[in-house]
Amino acid sequence: MPKGYLIAHIRVHDEDAFEEFKKLSGAAIAEHKGKILVRNPSPDHREGGAKGLAIVIEFASYDSARAFYESDAYTEARAVREKISDTDLILVEGL
């Protein structure tokens, strides 16, 4: 079964509040057995407008990635993130 991935670029406006998001989202990631593959605050941006912290999280399947994103725990984290950042985020199925 192909794995599922969350890919995001996050432009943080409040670093202190972002720590709360990291705490809440980290617990939700662990609950859904996600694995952070990439977390880079200053990636080598070459094209397009999706700038900011780059993150890639791997899940066992696309359905697992979707369950994580739609979970109550991540919804709470997302509410914090939406107040203190601008984000481009996609869920994709691996090969």
Q: Where are the domains of the chain?
A: 4-93
With b for 16 or more beta-carbon neighbours within 10 A and e for fewer, the 47-71 pattern comes to eeebebbbbebbbeebebbbebbee
What is the percentage of the chain residues whose pLDDT exceeds 90? 96
pLDDT band per the 50, 70, 90 thresholds, residue 18: very high
Q: Which of 17, 1, 4, 15 is nearest to 70 (CA)?
A: 4
Percentage of residues in the chain having pLDDT higher than 70: 100
pTM of the model: 0.94
Given CATH 3.40.50.300, say whether it is the number of domain 4-93: no
